[in-house]
Amino acid sequence: MEFEAFLFDLDGTLIDSLEDIALACNKTLQDLNMPQRQKEEIRKHIGSGAYELFRGLLEDEALIPKAVEIFKDYYAKSPIAYTKLFNGTIEVLELLKAKNKKMVVISNKPLELSIIILKALNVDKYFEDIVGPETYKERKPSAVPILKALEKLNISPSQAVVIGDTHADIESAKNANSYSALASWGYVKLKDVKPDFILDNIYDIKTFL
């Protein structure tokens, strides 16, 4: 099946950011006098924003707002110390660009950080737009970021595929009546939702051309 627009999640789809997120997370827990967590445990809670990250790590929900504030400060100071693109990402982005496909990043990460990371990794140039939760005052799994991004591109939802590694990505695609593809190399969290396609690696995106 061929698509005109490719809407990418960021963390766990284009970039492996686990190391930097885990470092900021554990510094936060340390400040709160809470036990630090293994990277693999933190990994399970990445994908739906900082609030959900700490909802998964803290038993006391009253601590979550403070934890999020501390975390964002630590993470903003060092978002790309260890973060890297997944293998094959640039090759696939180059191919999509050569085929005149439209590409957008839609992430629940704060927009400013997404832009910093994409620029630092020298891949911001591939995307028509970069969308964060502040852009349209909605975050995935809302359909709004997808629908607004596609409206700007003048592309219908049925001509677009949302590529991401969590239920937030898959649900947002379904809510927008777009197609969804699971990036199974990422921080996979699906709940009960089922994607239209499962990608074993980023090169599988070639099957959409």
Q: What is the tens place of the pLDDT at every residue in 115-171?
A: 999 999 999 999 999 999 999 999 999 999 999 999 999 999 999 999 999 999 999
Q: Which amino acid is at 174?
A: K
- The total of other beta-carbon atoms located within 10 Å of residue 191's CB is 10
Please tell me the number of Cα atoms within 13 Å of 168 on its side-chain side: 24
With tokens 């990505």, the residue in question is 169
Question: pLDDT value at position 49?
Answer: 83
Question: pLDDT value at position 42?
Answer: 95
For residues 138 and 49, the answer to whether their CB atoms sit within 8 Å is no
CATH topology of domain 18-77: DNA polymerase; domain 1 (1.10.150)
Bigger pLDDT: 79 vs 48 = 79
Report how far residue 6's alpha carbon sits from residue 47's, in angstroms, rounded to the nearest whole number.
Answer: 19
Label residues 95-114 b or e (16+ Cβ within 10 Å = b): ebeeeebbbbbbbbbbeebb
Superfamily of segment(s) 5-16+83-208: HAD superfamily/HAD-like (3.40.50.1000)
DSSP assignment letter at 196: S
The tokens for 202 are 């980023």
Report how far residue 3's alpha carbon sits from residue 168's, in angstroms, rounded to the nearest whole number.
Answer: 21
Angle ∠(124,67,11) on CA atoms, nearest 5: 25
List, in order, residues 6 or more apart from 156 with CB less than 8 Å away: 150
- Interval 20-31 mean pLDDT: 97
Report how far residue 180's alpha carbon sits from residue 22's, in angstroms, rounded to the nearest whole number.
Answer: 28
Provide CATH 3.40.50.1000 ranges for the chain: 5-16+83-208
Q: Which residues are catalytic?
A: 9
Question: pLDDT value at position 189?
Answer: 79
Is 191's pLDDT higher than 90? no
Is 47's pLDDT higher than 90? no
- Interval 1-5 mean pLDDT: 95
Q: Which amino acid is at 30?
A: Q
For 6, the 3-state DSSP assignment is strand
- Residue 13: name the closest of 168, 192, 152 by CA: 168
- Please state, rounded to an integer, the average pLDDT across all residues of the chain: 95
Give 14's pLDDT tier (boundaries 50, 70, 90): very high
The predicted model scores a pTM of: 0.94
Report how far residue 171's alpha carbon sits from residue 166's, in angstroms, rounded to the nearest whole number.
Answer: 9
